[in-house]
Structure 1
Amino acid sequence: MDIIVNEELKAYIDPLTPEEHAALERSILNEGCRDALVLWGDVLVDGHNRYGICRKHGLPFNTVQSALFKSMDDVHLWMIDQHLGRRSVSDFQRGVLALRKREILAARQQLALVDALSAEPAPQATSESTVTSTPITDAPVAPAFKSREDLAKAARLSSSQVVMIEKIQKQAAPELVAAVKSGVISINAAAAVATLPAEEQVAAASAGKEELKLAAKRVRDAKRAAREAMAEHSVPAFAPDDAATEGIDPLATVAALQQRVAALEAENAELRQQLQALRNP
């Protein structure tokens, strides 16, 4: 049979690194293709790397048809679950896959709700005859994640890691995403750098690992300074007596915070100029 390689499916999961692909190729050359390729009709669902290696070297392989798939969403969910269980998948990749699963399940749940609300009532029986029928229903819809904690558990991550991965997906430039995927920068550091303007993210990623670390440190230092300024000038929410708030001028407090913010912005601008000067001596 002719096997169809769907490029969208092939790219749905991050590809192997060159080192991982080379190791797989050596294994197949030495031991053969032990695991069957999974097909949906003629479409290859799982085993793209094995299929490519076997075709390259003219090696035999087995295939198996899956009866689980009724739609492309079924295929995506199966692929996600397969890779979430693999130890070789990085924390960032597992987080991205779990977020994709959340989107698919949430969309399915919404569609099921719409279908249920729009369903027509069953026809009323007449005095002359009674008509009965058995409705045809699809398989039960898998429940969506109820909370971020559920999603984190599925991905074997902490809730804070999930939040950071969401931030990276929404705010990070492609160059920064590539850096965290390759392990050049940690999830924590990438989430910090992702708060910078896109051009600064690209510049830091292009400069390499050390510059990414420095950029993350600058972001954290600025946030820490802002928190300290807020704590220094904050008014207690509950004072035991009037003496606790004596001498505190709310307007002066706001003015002091504004001055501190302006000073931090000026300091940040100066650091950017220094960084630019270092890049372009």
Structure 2
Amino acid sequence: MWLAYTLVAAFLWGVGAVLAKKGLAQITPLWNNIISYGFVLIMMVPWAINGGVNWERLPAIFSLTLLTAAAYSIYFYVISRGEIALTGTINSMYPLATIILAKLFLGETTSGLQNLGIIATLAGAVLIAWPKDVKVKLESWVWWGAAGAMIAGSGDFLTKLIIGQSDMYTFTLSHELAFIPVMMGLWLVDRKGRSMPRFQFKSWWPTLAGVGILQMGVLSFFIALSLGQASLVTPVSSIYQAITVVLAMVWLKEKVSFRQLMGIVLAVGGVLLLAVEA
């Protein structure tokens, strides 16, 4: 069942990411996080409470879920830094961080085929990030995508670890409650992002639809992590980038060079190799 939930999450993330990116032209990453939390209150908190929260265990895991909440809150900042087909692809290298941490601390192992997938994703990332002029520094979106990948991968590892120490429902509630202090911190730091545009359905609907779809994907992903190994669930979930890239080129008219396109194809192929033994 974990594979089905993971594929659902990947599809929802692929569609939601493009909608959210389109909305970022009008609405800041800070407000994307705030709006996203509105969907959390509607969907995920009631789902967790109805599922059965271990209230005694909740305080013990709260400090760790502060880290997962902080890790996931940077997503909108990452995709706002460049074309979604590129930033999203670099950011989707996060399975590498998850696999390494899972092998070191959870005792999970990877096969030869999965190791080949890791090499392919790394090679794809290099092709995507390689500048047109080697004398020019790498563009900022590359660093944002790489940082996002490491942080998101660490967040997924912590999510699996915390679920193992508690349960899916207790983790979900604690994770969402932890977003409150995280967003307070973002509000204090991101002063430019506080400005909110006047509400117009035409400019707001991509954000509202995008963050809502992304949150549904997160819920499906949490369920998948509770059922399967992090070193398998996380790589499979990364196929959302294939959907994102296609939609970004078709709908957002984003331009990708041939070299970068080959890098994206190689990275997607690497992720698929990681998922073969799932």
Same fold (TM over 0.5): no
User: Which one has the largest radius of gyration?
Assistant: 1
TMscore range, shorter length: under 0.3
| Structure with the largest fraction of helix | 2
| TM-score normalised per structure 1 | 0.25
Larger relative CO (CA 8 A, sep 6+): 1 or 2?
2
